[in-house]
Chains A and B, each alone.
Chain A
């Protein structure tokens, strides 16, 4: 589902963010990507969604080689993915349902179908009662769940979540994790970046550790804690 080989990325006037990173995530797998702040997690995520072009290496996501894709191809890929970020990245002036339905509409669904799918997705994150509220009126945890609902609305085969529990209290963080785990049980592949040890400790999945731009594949929780 995800195949990354020898990916390096450096910023002008700065140290290398990624140094020959290689790993695979198989279909239906739940993998966590962890590492300290500044280790390269977010850079790697931005490479995986085509927001950054690596200096070298190969990135294949959902069978598509990002190196050979133009902006249209990248957009098409993003429509197939469920993306969740550290910041919920919602349209604050839009309703909760509108934010979620947006991803379905971009996928080409009719308004009615998009609304129905949004309602279903909001049910999955226990926010069906907030459908009519403006996104700006929600608390941080609720916003993150709306972002999750938006990621789930098209029932994607691959979910990429970058620090989705950051800034949430433990209950909310576990709630988010539970939603992602359920999505994985329903058949989606999940790659989640986190440095929340509490989340990692309850996670039943593979842990990938990245440190100073280098990755040790198939690491354990002990190494993540080290």
Chain B
């Protein structure tokens, strides 16, 4: 093994320009793939989290509905096993939420009565419910005393799930394109590296290096370059991410916990991707030399 590492390192040192070009091309490929992965994973996480949170249903009460109506409706709805969460929002609380969500500098709410909004039961249903099941529950709850209207986020959840799927497919497509483009670029750069190392390969062949002894150090050099380039690309990506994320976290605290860098597994996958590119690229680059006798 020591022989392979020494020959690989000697090979890299012997042709620094070609090695640098190969390293840069792998780093660019991993950086691009990492950027796609970072953006799509954050987008997918955000959409999927929202879509997976459940189906929100709002049961609005008439202004004249009394406390017995609310208690009766609440008791009836709580009996449903699909209800994950249930919360009563009084007219005052609804008004407060509205006031908080509107820019305080504007006077949109001035002059309006604080009992303008209806009281409601905010329900979260299991996400697995079908359209028909949600509709059936809504229909049965409409008949409850004091209930004026019921609204559901079912349609939005479907849209969100579809959006998450689209994000995932776009990520796959971009990943596949990156794969093909990277392979072409990296193989080309490794062909250059192989060309600059042709004397070395010639010498190795003449002193009787064969099989792993011949191609092993070259492929290992490619793998080492791939690992170094991937590490470099991940560090660059982290710096770029922090440069973008720091101002976002400062201005939008609500997003602070929702955006994140790549997971350890994703970083490991990028590292392996770079190593694979290096190994395959160098093997392909020296293919024509293997035709020599």
Contact = CB atoms under 8 A, between A and B. Distances in A.
Interface of A: 49-53, 71-72, 74-81, 83, 85, 89-94, 98-99, 102-103, 105-107, 110-111, 150
A89 B202 contact: yes
Given A106-B204, A111-B6, A91 B14 contact: yes
Interface stretch (B108-116, B206-214, B228-236): B206-214
Nearest to A49: B206
B293 interface: yes
Contacts of B200: 91, 94
24 contacts: A50-B293, A72-B210, A74-B293, A75-B209, A75-B214, A78-B205, A78-B206, A78-B208, A79-B208, A85-B206, A89-B202, A89-B203, A90-B203, A91-B10, A92-B199, A93-B13, A94-B10, A94-B200, A103-B208, A106-B207, A106-B208, A106-B209, A111-B2, A111-B3
Contact of B207 (A71, A72, A78, A93): A78
B3 A92 contact: no
A107 B203 contact: no
Contacts of B199: 89, 91-92
Contacts, number: 71
Contacts of B208: 75-81, 103, 106-107
Interface string B1-23: 01100110010011100000000
Contacts of B203: 89-91, 99, 102
Interface in B190-233: 199-200, 202-211, 213-214
Contacts of A90: 203
Contacts of B210: 71-72, 75-76
Nearest to A104: B207
A90 B203 CA distance: 7
